[in-house]
Amino acid sequence: MHAIIKGRGGAFLASACVLVLSAAFIIYGYALNHGPLGDRTVFHASFSSANGLAAGSDVDLGGVTVGRVRSITLNSDIAVADVAFDVESQLVLPSDTAVSIAAPTVGGDDALFLEPGHSRTPLKPGSTILNAHPLLSLEQQISNYIFGAGNL
């Protein structure tokens, strides 16, 4: 009888360890995707097309990930895509900041890229950035290169 109880105790302990580790991985995954709570500032951007962007995509500034895309919704009043994103709260963005959708590498997922302006007035939390540039298709980029100034 004692051997049966001892065997069940070991199984119970092993099961408890698996549950604790699973919970820790779930919390870790959530923190990676959403960042720590309370130290984020939310902004919005209005795009004519948010094609290629998804909730959870990176928000980059100068090649450094500083936030995440929270949601992408359609603003049916003016027929644009409203992208809600957050950035680290210590990051102060100028009011003339621009935003674009692009891929950091050829095979990488699309991300939201912040391009700070030169204004001394900071962008207020919850503000909408109207200077937003949607993702250019490969055909558009080649056309711009051929018929433009040679810049991609």
Q: How far is residue 81's CA from residue 6's CA, in Å, rounded to a whole number? A: 60
Residue 1, pLDDT score: 46
Average pLDDT over residues 62-69: 91
- Flag whether pLDDT at 62 surpasses 70: yes
Annotated domain spans of the chain: 1-34, 40-147
pLDDT digits (tens, 9 = 90+) for 2-54: 554 555 777 778 788 888 888 777 776 666 655 555 588 999 999 888 888 89
* Length of the chain as a residue count: 152
Residue 45, pLDDT score: 93
pLDDT digits (tens, 9 = 90+) for 103-152: 766 666 788 999 998 999 999 999 999 888 887 666 666 666 677 655 55
DSSP 39-59: SEEEEEEEES--TT--TT-EE
Q: Whose CA is closest to 11, among 19, 23, 24?
A: 19
Q: What is the pTM of this model?
A: 0.66
**Between 56 and 141, where is the model more confident?**
56
